[in-house]
Structure 1
């Protein structure tokens, strides 16, 4: 019988050498034994071996034994990629257990005079890459116990797989394997350390990753660009951007050139932290080194500007990337759509949806949910349900977040019964109502004054094991205050504090308003005091409520001083100074200062507003766009156009872009004063700063109407451009006073 297999092998070998196309005549009668015999005969001839494997690979006779021989031969020829492909195919199609495959690989090792354990490394790597990590570990141990020495490749592949496939208790498994490598005296390479650093950064354990970075250096293994990129990205994703920049400097000092991935990680970190102004310097440095921003850079920046509320700059960058032939991705379009929905510009949001489809991109679950939320918030429930239908037809299942958006829409319209019907529909589909669901409905009941149902729903929420959040308590407190049940409201507020929930400015302002309505201004002021001590910054609504409360009690001078005295060192109330107040918000772009200036502007107290502005300058605090915009708008409304124009010039010189509200107010003011030359200059600046191709028609309309003296048309076009995001319109604080 053996001679029969040998004869078949010899016949096939002859055909391989002279007429390989005739090998197919042997397909049905060829045997595994013949295949093994032929491979052993050709093991010194790479070309013949490869030609045979090309013929044999898909045929039934090419079973476990000849496949193991082939893997050894391919590694012997240093053809690791085809050897890996063959090994992956073997473990996915061979029904025999991993032990049997290992034994076959072991028995064929000596037959082909192999002196390398590469075939065992490939078997381990194949199991690891196929998410069969326990089998990979079993083969690793079998390889060692059989006298072979697995290389670092085997260990690296298992380490990588543990992280990649998110194996339960991964940290312990990695730690165990790492110490096994040390015990076995495996020589770690840069890939080993990079896998460990990337893995722990991916799990958010940056300290562990840094520990391996230190170990790497102690072992004399030099970190490469990938190592630094991974750690820089890890710092950025944890919001530790300054430390990321420090690591970036270390990288450069060591002579490693940052690449596009490095800069994209830094840009992403800055965007995450809302430090958009700093991205410009990073981009300039990047370009100066010959690196060209790619679609990742643009997508990150567009998302960052959208999150910051600077839709104008996001749209400019979006237009720029499209012009350069870069494709915005679904995430970019989704954040643009979300920004338009937040701005109430649903028409523009739908235009972006159409653009997505034109580019062959499909909206995802988040895109659909964003649109549903946008329509629901404005009470357009028919449109919201149309989007929901399209979402379901597209194969996406609505999530709890999707349903919560619809529930909110019904609650806004006071259609409470329908909102409860949606909760029942959710439950029928296996989705449980969450804290947001309940807080939305509780708020809805409070809004229509049905506190009985609101409290009943709150009780039901607690029974289900859901802890009411600050929004629920704030809504209930507001409902009680509106019914003048201040004692109950205060008791609920104390309960909220005892549960460790943090009230916000809305909660405090609600209570302050309640006490002011009852004429108890002293308690209201005490709450204001407590609010600031808790480092919760009063907003303009809070101060307006207090001023109105004081004014009703004929304490008008005190009402005016409440805001005015905050400019100085006098305490309002005792021990709370203006500096303390501003100090609490130094990282929030002087939110309280803008609110303070805006409060004066709303009351027409422009001298006081200017004194706050001067106080800022004396303290070497640099005003931002919001401060300038509020003052320009305030002075225009107060008739001091020259002062407004001076601030406008100062703002532009400082590199800030005036927002739509301040620009339109200034244009109207200059026109009223007959300051034609200055008017032309401002309009020219606006049009020059508007880079979007979408704005070309609007720009022409402005130029034509301005030349013809039709200023009403100019104002209308500017207003429409602002609504469409074609000129900056992002400073919400400035807009609120218009």
Structure 2
């Protein structure tokens, strides 16, 4: 080389070139830097080799391994912890976990002690692939685990919903003086809240804070959601005040969680107070805020107030942003109030906003009215496959249609789907299925459905009992029919002509059959029923 250039470039210059070529993704040129170093009469340092290896690993693990074997080992360069850490990272990023274990063994066979970073990289890969148990066994090899070790494994167990093992490791990390990062702690809090163990979640956050850890707004929000899920929304509201006292400012998700909790508990005025507090605190509400309020008001039968909130959403946010959820909540509220004509009118008004959804819905309703239930189901399936969200009207119409065709199993599956998406059926929808079961001679299934209906807080009516009593009377099960009659009268439901007709027809048959045996018992039972 010419002497006029002065001193040869130092190591930092070559490292800068390697990083620059790496960012430009000029991978083959990165390897040529070794030749450039030797041209200046110096041998590449281990730091230069590692820097090149790090670039190669991010692009092509096979090329990186080839470089390690031929260039590094071929030059007699002994790798260090950083070298093996780079290779382990490359293998784990490409899910070559088996080869990662071979590398770990190779490190040990050279008389070296793998550092905790190498172990943590392999642990992370194992957990990402659902092999948390194997990761836990590997952890036992680590002489000095660090906080990252515990973070990786705790998160792995949380991903598997194994909160017991997650808590065991959390306790062990505390005992060793480690405080897991807030992301890991939040996952533990979330899994505990999901199973209703919110008090334990509170204790964990308190311990984290006592050990100098910082609990952020996301962790607090998770805890608030946990209390709201248990119906303890007032306790969740108290946590909001505690957050503010500690200097952790709530965000829109905090308020949305509490608004949702108040709505679910039927405390609509408190939900509205939270909404007003948001504006006072300078927090801009988002679509979720309005969506939650609208659903809360309409599902609780507050139709007029619900429409006011819908109008406010359209004014302040310039519409719904293409989200049909608030409008489906309106339809659900009208359906819950048995305002089917009004619901149909509102559905038609939605056409300009959601032409495809309205078109699909109207076709389903039309096919059901014509008795073409299979065609209606085909459009429903198409709607679902396109990502559409059927309204409560669609579910109700399909359930009635299938029941009329005698397809009770299909109707029951649709009711289950209806409940899954958050629409709880009204009495008329239950009644269609009860009648369908009775027509198929499955009065036992009809009776179970009636019990579930009552258990879920849906008030039955005459149409709920009438088909069941008639079916039991046809089977001459007078005692069961009479028991249902007593039950409905106790609920203040007046039996109709069909119920009385079925009972007396059954009773006349029972009297003939029982003549000379239990005549007086039947007579007394009739007096008891009529006398109520």
Alignment TM class, shorter chain as reference: 0.5 to 0.7
In 2 relative to 1, CA 387–88 (structure 1 residues): closer, same or farther, beyond 3 Å?
farther
**1:475 aligned to 361, 383, 396, which one?**
396
Distance 1:498 1:516 in 2: 14
Distance 1:499 1:368 in 2: 28
1:14 aligned partner: none
Distance 2:28 2:287 in 1: 44
2:307 aligned partner: 379
Matches within 5 A, 1:622-633: none
In 2 relative to 1, CA 455–277 (structure 1 residues): closer, same or farther, beyond 3 Å?
farther
- Pairwise CA distance, 1:301: 1.1
**1:558 aligned to 483, 494, 499, which one?**
483
- Pairwise CA distance, 1:318: 1.0
Distance 1:335 1:443 in 2: 37
Three-state SS of the structure 2 residue aligned to 1:211 is helix
Unpaired stretches in structure 2, ≥5 consecutive residues = 300-305, 335-342, 493-532
2:348 aligned partner: 417
- Pairwise CA distance, 1:198: 3.1
Distance 2:251 2:17 in 1: 36
- Pairwise CA distance, 1:228: 2.4
1:195 aligned partner: 121
Matches within 5 A, 1:4-43: 6=4, 34=5, 37-40=6-9
Is 1:328 matched up with 2:250? yes
Distance 2:441 2:132 in 1: 52
The C-alpha deviation readout for 1:469-498, integer Å capped at 9, x for no partner, is: 997995235534xxxx9542xx33223579
Aligned length: 451
The C-alpha deviation readout for 1:311-363, integer Å capped at 9, x for no partner, is: 2222211121112211224433442344456554564354354357x26xx66
- Pairwise CA distance, 1:258: 4.8
Distance 2:327 2:276 in 1: 22
In 2 relative to 1, CA 293–101 (structure 1 residues): closer, same or farther, beyond 3 Å?
closer
Say if 1:442 and 1:458, in contact at 8 Å, map to a contact too: no
Distance 1:234 1:536 in 2: 40
Unpaired stretches in structure 1, ≥5 consecutive residues = 7-33, 44-68, 73-82, 392-397, 428-432, 564-598, 604-738
Q: Which protein, 1 or 2, shows the higher relative CO under an 8 Å CA cutoff with sep ≥ 6?
A: 1
The C-alpha deviation readout for 1:159-189, integer Å capped at 9, x for no partner, is: 65787xxx7xx43x45445545645768643
2:137 aligned partner: 214
1:459 aligned partner: 378
Three-state SS of the structure 2 residue aligned to 1:223 is coil
Say if 1:511 and 1:524, in contact at 8 Å, map to a contact too: no
In 2 relative to 1, CA 479–494 (structure 1 residues): closer, same or farther, beyond 3 Å?
closer
Distance 2:87 2:208 in 1: 36
Matches within 5 A, 1:424-435: 424=355
2:407 aligned partner: 492
Say if 1:294 and 1:326, in contact at 8 Å, map to a contact too: yes
In 2 relative to 1, CA 102–531 (structure 1 residues): closer, same or farther, beyond 3 Å?
same
The C-alpha deviation readout for 1:686-711, integer Å capped at 9, x for no partner, is: xxxxxxxxxxxxxxxxxxxxxxxxxx
Say if 1:124 and 1:139, in contact at 8 Å, map to a contact too: yes
Three-state SS of the structure 2 residue aligned to 1:379 is helix
- Pairwise CA distance, 1:294: 4.5
In 2 relative to 1, CA 460–540 (structure 1 residues): closer, same or farther, beyond 3 Å?
closer
Q: TM-score, normalization: structure 1?
A: 0.49
The C-alpha deviation readout for 1:643-685, integer Å capped at 9, x for no partner, is: xxxxxxxxxxxxxxxxxxxxxxxxxxxxxxxxxxxxxxxxxxx
Distance 1:385 1:329 in 2: 23
**1:117 aligned to 31, 46, 53, which one?**
46
Three-state SS of the structure 2 residue aligned to 1:38 is coil
In 2 relative to 1, CA 197–118 (structure 1 residues): closer, same or farther, beyond 3 Å?
same
In 2 relative to 1, CA 522–508 (structure 1 residues): closer, same or farther, beyond 3 Å?
farther
- Pairwise CA distance, 1:103: 1.3
Matches within 5 A, 1:656-675: none
CA RMSD of the aligned region, Å?
A: 5.3
Matches within 5 A, 1:127-142: 133-135=58-60, 137-142=62-67
The C-alpha deviation readout for 1:441-496, integer Å capped at 9, x for no partner, is: 479959xx95769875532233578399997995235534xxxx9542xx332235
Is 1:144 matched up with 2:72? no
Distance 1:190 1:443 in 2: 63
Is 1:70 matched up with 2:39? no
**2:31 aligned to 88, 102, 123, which one?**
102
In 2 relative to 1, CA 499–327 (structure 1 residues): closer, same or farther, beyond 3 Å?
closer
In 2 relative to 1, CA 237–106 (structure 1 residues): closer, same or farther, beyond 3 Å?
same
Three-state SS of the structure 1 residue aligned to 2:250 is coil
- Pairwise CA distance, 1:306: 3.2
In 2 relative to 1, CA 465–272 (structure 1 residues): closer, same or farther, beyond 3 Å?
closer
Matches within 5 A, 1:628-643: none
1:403 aligned partner: 324
Distance 2:81 2:364 in 1: 62
In 2 relative to 1, CA 99–545 (structure 1 residues): closer, same or farther, beyond 3 Å?
farther
2:523 aligned partner: none
1:682 aligned partner: none
Say if 2:126 and 2:132, in contact at 8 Å, map to a contact too: yes
Distance 2:171 2:316 in 1: 48
Say if 1:512 and 1:546, in contact at 8 Å, map to a contact too: no
Say if 1:477 and 1:492, in contact at 8 Å, map to a contact too: no
Is 1:318 matched up with 2:240? yes
Distance 2:453 2:150 in 1: 39
